[in-house]
Chain A
Amino acid sequence: MDRRIFLRGLAGLGCTAAAHPWLTTITMAEAAADGGSPLGEARLVVIILRGAMDGLDVVRPVADPLFAQLRPTLGAGDPALHLGDRFGLHPALAGLLPLWSKGELGFAHAVSTPYRDKRSHFDGQDILEAGTGADVPSSAHRDGWMNRMLQAVPGLRAETAFAVGRDALPLLAGAARTMSWTPDARLPLTAQSQLLLERIWHEDPLFRDSGGEAITLAAEAADAPDVATDGDGEMSMPATPQPKIKGFAQIDGLVDFAASRLRGATRIVAFSQTGWDTHRNQAGAIGAPLGQLQRTVLRLKGSLGADVWGKTILLAMTEFGRTAAENGTKGTDHGTAGVMLMAGGALKGGRVMGRWPGLAEADLYDRRDLMPTSDVRGWAAWAMRSLYGFDRGVLERAVFPGLDMGEDPRLLL
Chain B
Amino acid sequence: MIPRAELAAFRFGDGLPTPAEAGDPDAIMAALAAPDRMATLYPAPDLATASAFRARVAEAGAAYRADRSEAKKADFAAVVREGRIAALRSAAAAMARTLDTPLPFRERLVRFWADHFSVRSKSRQQMLFPSALVEDAIRPHLDGRFADLLRAVTLHPAMLEYLDQASSVGPGSVVGQRRKRGINENLARELMELHTLGVGAHYSQSDVTELAELLTGVTVSPDSAQVFRANMAEPGAETVLGQRYDGEGMAPILRALDDLAARPETALHLARKMAVHFVSDTPDQGLVDAMAAAFRASEGDLSAVYRAMLDHPAAWAPTLQKVRRPVDFVTAALRGMGVTGAAITGMPDAAFRRMILAPMASMGQPYQAPPGPNGWPEAAEAWITPQLLAARVNWAMTVPSALLDALPEPGALAARVLGAADDGSVAWAAVRAETRAEGVGLIFASPAFNRR
Contact = CB atoms under 8 A, between A and B. Distances in A.
Given A192-B438, A279-B184, A280-B184, A180 B386 contact: yes
B322 to A, nearest CB: 12
B426 interface: yes
A41 interface: no
Nearest to A211: B389
A279 B189 CA distance: 12
A179 B386 CA distance: 8
A120 to B, nearest CB: 5
A331 interface: yes
Contacts of A121: 372, 374
Interface in A177-223: 179-182, 184-190, 192-193, 196-197, 199-201, 203-204, 206-207, 210-211, 213-214, 217-218
B70 interface: no
Interface stretch (A23-31, A165-173, A356-364, A379-387): A165-173
Interface string B352-386: 00000000001010000001101001011110111
A117 interface: yes
B391 A185 contact: yes
B403 to A, nearest CB: 19
B447 A218 contact: no
A197 B450 CA distance: 13
Given A211-B389, A279-B164, A166 B184 contact: no
Interface string A305-316: 000000000000
B204 interface: yes
B226 interface: no
A324 to B, nearest CB: 14
Contact of A196 (B184, B377, B432): B432
B382 A217 contact: no
A187 B433 contact: no
Contacts of A218: 390
B94 to A, nearest CB: 22
A246 interface: no
Nearest to B398: A188
A128 to B, nearest CB: 15
B446 interface: yes
Interface string A19-50: 00000000000000000000000000000001
Contacts of A180: 385-387
A216 to B, nearest CB: 8
B136 to A, nearest CB: 24
B57 to A, nearest CB: 18
A192 B205 contact: no
Interface in B149-200: 164, 167-169, 171, 176, 180-186, 189, 193, 199-200
B127 interface: no
A396 interface: no
B316 to A, nearest CB: 21
A214 B181 contact: no
Interface in B400-452: 425-426, 429-430, 432-434, 438, 441-442, 445-447, 450-451
A350 B360 CA distance: 44
Contacts of B430: 196
B397 interface: yes
Given A168-B385, A200-B429, A327 B182 contact: yes
Given A192-B434, A329-B181, A333-B185, A119 B386 contact: no
A200 B390 contact: no
Contact of B441 (A50, A181, A193, A279): A193
Contact of A328 (B182, B199, B385): B182
Contacts of B379: 168
A186 B394 contact: yes
Instruction: Kindly list the 5 A-B residue pairs having the minimum CB-CB distance in the complex, ordered from nearest.
Output: A328-B182, A204-B447, A214-B386, A213-B386, A196-B429
Interface of B: 164, 167-169, 171, 176, 180-186, 189, 193, 199-200, 204-205, 208, 323, 362, 364, 371-372, 374, 377, 379-382, 384-391, 393-394, 397, 425-426, 429-430, 432-434, 438, 441-442, 445-447, 450-451
Interface of A: 50-51, 72, 117-123, 137, 165-168, 173, 179-182, 184-190, 192-193, 196-197, 199-201, 203-204, 206-207, 210-211, 213-214, 217-218, 274, 277, 279-280, 327-329, 331, 333-334, 366, 368
28 contacts: A51-B372, A117-B205, A118-B199, A118-B205, A120-B199, A168-B377, A168-B379, A168-B381, A179-B386, A187-B394, A188-B394, A189-B393, A189-B397, A190-B434, A193-B438, A196-B438, A199-B429, A203-B447, A207-B447, A211-B389, A214-B393, A274-B371, A328-B167, A328-B181, A328-B182, A329-B181, A329-B184, A368-B205
